Structure 1
Amino acid sequence: MKTLKVSFLTAFALGIVMSGCSGSKSNEELTFKDAFEGKFLVGTALNVEQVAGNEPKAIEIAKKHFNSAVAENCMKMENIHPEEDIFFWDEADAFVEFAEKNNMHIVGHTLVWHSQAAPWIFVDENGEDVSREVLIERMKHHIQTIVGRYKGRVDGWDVVNEAIEGDGSWRESKWYQIIGPEYIELAFQFAQEADPEAELYYNDYGVSGKAKCDGIYDLVSNLLEKGVKVDGIGLQGHLNFDIPLISEMGASIEKLSSLGVNLMVTELDMTIVPWPSDEVTAEVSLNYELSKEYDPYSEGLPDSVYQEVMDRYTGFFEMFLRHHEKITRVTFWGVHDGNSWRNDWPIEGRTDFPLLFDRNYQMKEGVENILEMAKNWETN
């Protein structure tokens, strides 16, 4: 039995459930896409095995609950463009076809990123850095080949991913070192040329931090002043159990929305297990040793911790609803706990509980309160 501890937000949501609403769907019938209809799209990342039909229960959840889909890995450079003259289309094609068949808003992820880049992209035959001109041409070919293939089919692209550091400065990636800060402007330009109708996004983590939010604001503001087509900013929602504060993320939404672009909460999940660093980051290169200290819930999540998690998720969604006119989409990074990257990053082999469907493909207890809160938001 779950703990009787109930926060203000959970009590608020429970009150909605108990009071009911004429014409609303029952708890069993209500889905994410129904509950948030008219506020924003609700999406999920899909992996290759799911799209291939090897996890039918996960696909059933995706089709029932979500109206947007993003490719978790198959469109990243190391997967789709592993060698200079070779593109591997099978998995990305299957993803786009699945999303089209199920009338989902489709997001391509990601065109330019310092991580999971193909090893060949930055070097010549001798292993030395290529020239600025060569890398620009390679980037153009990469972007325009992929975006061009899915022209008119993919609704929006994460064009550039994670270019700003936590202190608001430029990340000195190989893209930055070889091309300079202009690489971002060029990336958006190349994507627009390949599909003028697709939405183009900048995507980053840690946006709740003031310095990073300011850095992203300055970056996008500068691009817009130059006439560069930037349609939206993705605020990655890789949350920890205690940080960021809900108010901090809300403040970032307020600031970035003043740019006049769409905002999306992307890659939403919440790690429950202890964090092994003082740094709040989604840097995929981090790797720590597995220990019981950092894997305390391998036998299951205590009721008291579970309640705290649901209270925190409820609080974030209440904040998203308050800002729904500024937000066009909220996307979870995975369908259920069992296939979340949080189990293996930054410590391989842990048991985490970061999503709102459990390892048995069941909606978690308390999620229906979030859905009812969303469904009845206009009456609040």
Structure 2
Amino acid sequence: MKRIITLGLIMLAASNAVAQKTGNSLKKAFKDKFYIGTAMSLPQINGTDVKSDQIIASQFSSIVAENCMKSMFLQPQEGKFFFDDADRFVAFGEKNKMFIIGHTLIWHSQLPKWFFVDKDGKDVSAEVLKQRMKNHITTVVSRYKGRVKGWDVVNEAIMEDGTYRKSKFYEILGEEFIPLAFQYAQEADPNAELYYNDYNEWYPEKVKTVINIVKKMKSRGIRVDGVGMQTHVGLDTPKLAEYEKAITDYASAGVKVNITEMDISALPSPWGTSANVSDTVKYQAKMNPYTKGLPENIEKEWENRYLDFFRLFIKHEDKIRRVTLWGVTDKQSWKNDFPVKGRTDYPLLFDRNFKAKPVVEKIIQLTKEKK
């Protein structure tokens, strides 16, 4: 294992030296293809994670806030907004001439408790919920009008089987909550791009429902510019062919595709695995096998997986608006704690020492290959 780690460090150093010598960067490589972006955490937004900020400014052309623009942080109490972190996030993007994305306006999760209930704790009426949605969307989008270039208007409303998630938005307003959200956002900033964003968005029934929603909104004169495909993936799933089909299907509905929240886990999936209390230690070890670094064969498999996805993105660059990584370094990634707490994962393009992994230069070289 020591030899593997040492070899990996040498490769990383060589990769960074090449990038510095040639002046290569992801944003330069993809300048004429699509935006290449990352999510920003609060330490990065507040300027306390200086090394990450340097990477973001030099490597990426687009940013999205990881958390600070979600409703529970922007409007923790009804009518009382907190914009300090979001303001700093937008200012960072403007300073570095980036394509700024707002995430997210309407989502059933990370939402303040007051949003759905009256003073007695009972569900509010449809009219009250509509007004609360409109007030929130209008206030937030209007504040950043002309500055935030695209909004994830609705997030994660459809299940893998194509049915609507039974959220409070759906229970109180039915299917209409989605077009209402897009209508309010469109009215607040007619020039901002508006997106529907979801995970596992390559499931066939989910694709059909999302396309149906897009077409219905367009027929009513409600603008929807793109579909965001959250790309939290592993080494085995999804199959590249089913992912590609989703891209082409969404594009055929007249919208751009946003590759959002991208990270590739190198760890085994715990889904479908159960563990008795007596087996906890054994289970934890099985789910967290690479605490000292990736074995060479797994690192190669992980790298090839990234390259396969980026070849696909380049192949369909006419359909893709942006590709956004969900974080900068492995240390920052949420995958270290999901779905099993305390794991050590390696899902992003920069390592825990803020160094570009060899795959970064290889991705850059992909942009120079002839189709």
TM-score (norm 1): 0.89
Is the CA contact (8 Å cut-off) linking 1:266 and 1:330 kept in structure 2? yes
Per the alignment, do residues 368 and 229 of structure 1 end up closer, same or farther by CA in structure 2, a change over 3 Å counting? same
Paired letter, 2:176:
E
Paired letter, 1:346:
P
Is the CA contact (8 Å cut-off) linking 2:72 and 2:110 kept in structure 1? yes
Query: Which residue of structure 1 aligns with residue 23 of structure 2?
Result: 29
- Identity percentage of aligned residues: 48
Query: Which residue of structure 1 aligns with residue 270 of structure 2?
Result: 276
* Unmatched segments (≥5 aa) in structure 2: 6-14, 274-279
The whole-number CA distance in structure 1 between the counterparts of 2:266 and 2:290 is 9
Is the CA contact (8 Å cut-off) linking 2:26 and 2:360 kept in structure 1? no
Query: Which residue of structure 1 aligns with residue 215 of structure 2?
Result: 221
TM-score (norm 2): 0.91
Shift of 1:367: 2.4
Partner deviation per Cα, 1:112-152 (whole Å, 9 max, x = no partner): 00111111101111111111111110010000000011111
Shift of 1:299: 2.0
Q: Do residues 257 (structure 1) and 251 (structure 2) align?
A: yes
The whole-number CA distance in structure 2 between the counterparts of 1:275 and 1:114 is 25
Query: Which residue of structure 2 aligns with residue 20 of structure 1?
Result: none
Is the CA contact (8 Å cut-off) linking 2:19 and 2:25 kept in structure 1? no
More helix by share: 2
Shift of 1:242: 0.9
Partner deviation per Cα, 1:153-207 (whole Å, 9 max, x = no partner): 1001000001110001111110000111100110000001111111111111101
User: Aligned to 2:358, what secondary structure does the other structure show?
Assistant: coil
The whole-number CA distance in structure 2 between the counterparts of 1:300 and 1:33 is 28
Query: Which residue of structure 1 aligns with residue 32 of structure 2?
Result: 38
User: Aligned to 2:228, what secondary structure does the other structure show?
Assistant: strand
The whole-number CA distance in structure 2 between the counterparts of 1:144 and 1:344 is 34
- Determine which of 291, 298, 306 is the counterpart of 2:291: 298
The whole-number CA distance in structure 2 between the counterparts of 1:366 and 1:175 is 41
Query: Which residue of structure 2 aligns with residue 7 of structure 1?
Result: none
Query: Which residue of structure 2 aligns with residue 282 of structure 1?
Result: none
Partner deviation per Cα, 1:59-97 (whole Å, 9 max, x = no partner): 000000001000110000111111102111100000001
The whole-number CA distance in structure 2 between the counterparts of 1:242 and 1:107 is 29
Query: Which residue of structure 2 aligns with residue 72 of structure 1?
Result: 66
User: Aligned to 2:299, what secondary structure does the other structure show?
Assistant: helix
Query: Which residue of structure 2 aligns with residue 10 of structure 1?
Result: none
The whole-number CA distance in structure 1 between the counterparts of 2:144 and 2:220 is 27
Alignment of 1:266-345 (within 5 A): 266-278=260-272, 291-345=284-338
The whole-number CA distance in structure 2 between the counterparts of 1:25 and 1:370 is 12
Partner deviation per Cα, 1:7-36 (whole Å, 9 max, x = no partner): xxxxxxxxxx9xxxxxx9887521101111
Shift of 1:2: 6.2
Shift of 1:297: 1.1
* Unmatched segments (≥5 aa) in structure 1: 4-16, 18-23, 280-287
Partner deviation per Cα, 1:327-380 (whole Å, 9 max, x = no partner): 010000001100011111222211110001000001112321111111x13x34
How many residues align? The count is: 351
Alignment of 1:49-64 (within 5 A): 49-64=43-58
Query: Which residue of structure 2 aligns with residue 373 of structure 1?
Result: 366
Q: Do residues 88 (structure 1) and 82 (structure 2) align?
A: yes
